[in-house]
Amino acid sequence: MCGGFLSGAAGSSDGGAGSPFLAGAPSPGGAMRSAGMNLSPAQGGCLHLRRLVRREHPPASLSRRAPPGPFPWPLIGNAAQLGSAPHLSFARLASTYGAVFQLRLGRWPVVVLNGERAIRQALVRQGAAFAGRPPFPSFQLVSGGLSLAFGGYSELWKLHRRAAHATVRAFSTGSPATRRLLERHLVGEARALVALLVRGSAGGAFLDPSRVLVVAVANVMSALCFGRRYSHGDGEFLRLVGRNEQFGRAVGAGSLVDALPWLQRFPSPVRAAYRAFRDLNRDFYGFVRGKFLQHQRSLRPGAAPRDMMDAFIRLQREQPRLQLEHVPATVTDIFGASQDTLSTALQWLLIFLIRYPNVQAKMQEEVDRIVGRDRLPCAEDQPHLPYVMAFLYESMRFSSFVPVTIPHATTTNTFVMGYLIPKDTVIFVNQWSVNHDPAKWSNPEDFDPTRFLDENGFINKDLTSSVMIFSLGKRRCIGEELSKVQLFLFTSILVHQCNFTANPNEDPKMDFTYGLTIKPKPFTLNELFIQSFPCLHALCLEL
C-alpha cells in the first residue's frame, strides 16, 4: 500500500573508508549502489536477501570448514568494506558468501549471522555457546566496567541477569498494581509531551521532537528506577540523557573505536569519539551511583522498596552472592538501555505518522471508535486496537532500529549451518536481515501495517513474533514486555490527542544515522491538538 516512500527509507551504505566510524553519516542521496544500479537500501538489501535464501545451505564439501568471506586487508581487515550502514553491507555480502560468513576487523575475527534460520540455530539452539561478549575496550567503559549488557557470560553473570529481569518485571508488568503504577507515570509523561508539542507548534511552527521524546521516556524510567522525574527544562538531566547517539556509535557492530583502537594514538575522529564515549559513560554511571548512595542511606529496614534501586539493594542484602557494586552498574544498564531504545522508537513512530497520513487517520479512527473522546487510551484497550498494534510491529520491522544486536562472542568451539566457529570469535547478529527477508515478508520494502492483520482484522501473532528487534536466546532483551507497553500507550495517547503533519519544506526521504540504534536524521513536524479530554489542559506535572 504505502510503497512509494521506501525509495528513501534509509541511509546509504556508500562511504566507508573515509568515515570516522564504519558507522558514519549516509551519503546525501540515500541510495545504495549495487551492481552498477542505483537502488534504495531496502531494495538493494532485498535483492541480496533473495540470493541469500538460495545460499542458506553450504555445499557438503564446505561442512566443518570455516565460513567463507571477503579477503581481509593487512591491519584493517574488512573495515573499509562496511560503509556507513553495516547492516546493509552485511546483507550484500551474504548474497555472495551465504547466511554465515566471516570478516576480519582489525585483529578481531568476526562471523556475521544473517536470516532467521542461522540466527536461531546459533542463539536459541546453542544459547550458551553464543552468549559471550567480546572483550572490546569500549565495553569495559560501560557502567563502571561491571555492565550486565556488555559483560561476559559466567555463573555470576547469570545470577545478576536473573535478578535484573525479575526486578524489571516486578516494577513494570509483574502485577496489576505495578502495571497501574507504570501506566500512571507514563500517562503523566505523555500529557506533558502533548502539552510541549502543542506549545512548540503554536502559530503553525514546526518543531524537532527528538529532545522532548528523550526526556519523556527518560522520565518514565527515572520514576521506575529512582522514584523521581525531571523538568524538561533541567539542563543537567538533558545533558545526561541527550548523548545517546555518541554512545550507540561507539558500541554498534563495526565501530572503529574497537576494530582499530590504534587510531586513538593520533588526533582523529576515532580518538575524539572514544574520549566522548569515555566521558559520557563516566557521567552516566556517576549519576546513577549518586542515586545508589542516596538510596542506601535512606532505605529503612523492613520498609517496602520505593523503586527499582531499593529493590536491588534489598535483594543484594538478602543474597550476598549478588555483589554490591553490581547494583548501580545494573541500574545504569537498565536506565541507559531503555531511554536510548525507547526514545529512538518514538522518533521512528512519529516520522511514520507524518510520512503516512492515511495510516495516522486509520489509527485515529480506531482509537476514537474504541476509546471515545471522554477518556484517554489505557493498557486494557490494547487487545481492542489491532491496527495500532499492527502499526507498532510494522514500524519495528521496517525501521529495524536495532539493526544488529550488541556484538556477541562464542564461549566454546561450535558449528552453525555446518561451519566451524572457534571459541572467542566475535559474532554480529543482523536482525535487519530477518525483518527484510522477502521469503518471509511480501514486499518488505513497503510500509504496510495491514500485513500483520488477518482477514478478520485481528493481529496475526505468528507474524508479530517473526519481527526480530529484541534479539533471541540468553542475551535477549530483558525490557521487551515493558517496552511494548510503553510504546503502545505513548502511541495511542499521541494519536488520540494530536494530529501530526510533516514540514512540506523537508525532503520526505527517511535518512538515518547508524549505531547500536539507527536514528532518523533530524526532522520537524507540526502538531494540531485535537479537541478532547478535558483534564489534559490541567497538567498535573511541571513541564
Per this entry, what is the length of the chain? 543
Instruction: Read off the amino acid at residue 403.
Output: P
Stretch that binds ligand HEM, among 57-65, 69-77, 259-267, 476-484 (CB under 6 A): 476-484
DSSP letter (8 states) at residue 69: -
Q: Which is nearer to ligand HEM, 229 or 475 (CB)?
A: 475
Q: Cα 6 to chain center, whole Å? A: 21
Binding positions:
477
- Per CB under 6 A, 119 contacts ligand HEM: no
Give the nearest distance from C-beta 289 to ligand HEM in angstroms. Answer: 17
Burial of 356 (0-12, 13-18, 19+ CB in 10 A): buried
Q: Which is nearer to ligand HEM, 197 or 345 (CB)?
A: 345
- Per CB under 6 A, 110 contacts ligand HEM: no
Q: Which is nearer to ligand HEM, 168 or 207 (CB)?
A: 168
Task: Write the binding mask 377 to 406 for ligand HEM: x where contact by CB under 6 A, - elsewhere.
Answer: -------------------------x--xx
Give the nearest distance from C-beta 380 to ligand HEM in angstroms. Answer: 21
Instruction: Compute and round to an integer the Cα radius of gyration of the chain.
Output: 23
Q: Which is nearer to ligand HEM, 206 or 230 (CB)?
A: 230
Minimal CB distance to ligand HEM: which residue? 479
* Phi and psi at residue 427, to the nearest 5°: -120, 125
Binding ligand HEM (rule: CB under 6 A), the pick from 349, 389, 477, 493 is 477
Binding positions for heme:
477
Binding ligand HEM (rule: CB under 6 A), the pick from 49, 421, 467, 469 is 469
**CB neighbours (10 Å) of residue 54?**
10
Give the nearest distance from C-beta 511 to ligand HEM in angstroms. Answer: 20
Binding ligand HEM (rule: CB under 6 A), the pick from 191, 291, 475, 509 is 475
- Per CB under 6 A, 280 contacts ligand HEM: no
DSSP helix/strand/coil, 529: strand
Binding ligand HEM (rule: CB under 6 A), the pick from 478, 494, 498, 502 is 478
Closest CA to 349 of 484, 201, 516: 484
DSSP helix/strand/coil, 444: coil
**Exposure pattern of 285-321 as b/e (b: 16+ CB <10 Å)?**
bebbbebbeebbeebeeeeebebbbbbbbbbbeeeee
Closest CA to 486 of 247, 232, 168: 168
CB 292 within 8 A of CB 309: yes
CA separation for the pair 424, 25 (Å, rounded): 31
DSSP helix/strand/coil, 105: strand
Stretch that binds ligand HEM, among 29-37, 188-196, 233-241, 336-344 (CB under 6 A): 336-344
Ramachandran category for residue 399: left, alpha or beta (phi over 0 → left; psi -120 to 50 → alpha) = alpha
Output the CA torsion 78→82→87→91 (10° steps).
Answer: -70
Binding ligand HEM (rule: CB under 6 A), the pick from 14, 116, 189, 333 is 333
**Number of residues near ligand HEM (by CB under 6 A):** 24
Stretch that binds ligand HEM, among 185-193, 201-209, 338-346, 503-511 (CB under 6 A): 338-346
Q: Which is nearer to ligand HEM, 15 or 449 (CB)?
A: 449
Calculate the alpha carbon distances from 78 to 22, 32, 90, 261, 419 in Å: 10, 19, 11, 15, 20
- Per CB under 6 A, 345 contacts ligand HEM: yes
Task: Write the binding mask 422 to 451 for ligand HEM: x where contact by CB under 6 A, - elsewhere.
Answer: -------x----------------------
Q: Which is nearer to ligand HEM, 371 or 477 (CB)?
A: 477
Q: Which is nearer to ligand HEM, 292 or 470 (CB)?
A: 470
Binding ligand HEM (rule: CB under 6 A), the pick from 331, 342, 349, 434 is 342
Stretch that binds ligand HEM, among 33-41, 188-196, 295-303, 332-340 (CB under 6 A): 332-340
- Per CB under 6 A, 326 contacts ligand HEM: no
CA angle 104, 410, 163 (to 5 degrees): 130
CA separation for the pair 407, 402 (Å, rounded): 12
DSSP string, 109-144: EEEEEESHHHHHHHHTTTTGGG-B----TGGGGGGG
The C-alpha cell of 118 is what? Answer: 542461522
Stretch that binds ligand HEM, among 176-184, 273-281, 331-339, 379-387 (CB under 6 A): 331-339
Burial of 389 (0-12, 13-18, 19+ CB in 10 A): buried
Binding ligand HEM (rule: CB under 6 A), the pick from 146, 186, 241, 482 is 482
Q: How far apart are the first and last CA of the chain?
A: 39
Q: Which is nearer to ligand HEM, 32 or 240 (CB)?
A: 240
Task: Write the binding mask 132 to 171 for ligand HEM: x where contact by CB under 6 A, - elsewhere.
Answer: ----------------xx-----------x------x---
- Per CB under 6 A, 273 contacts ligand HEM: no
CA separation for the pair 334, 343 (Å, rounded): 14
Q: Which is nearer to ligand HEM, 391 or 533 (CB)?
A: 391
- Per CB under 6 A, 307 contacts ligand HEM: no
Give the nearest distance from C-beta 337 to ligand HEM in angstroms. Answer: 4
Give the nearest distance from C-beta 454 to ligand HEM in angstroms. Answer: 25
Give the nearest distance from C-beta 382 to ligand HEM in angstroms. Answer: 16
Closest CA to 130 of 116, 143, 142, 113: 113
Residues near ligand HEM (CB under 6 A) are: 148-149, 161, 168, 333-334, 337-338, 341-342, 345, 402, 405-406, 429, 469-471, 475, 477-479, 482-483
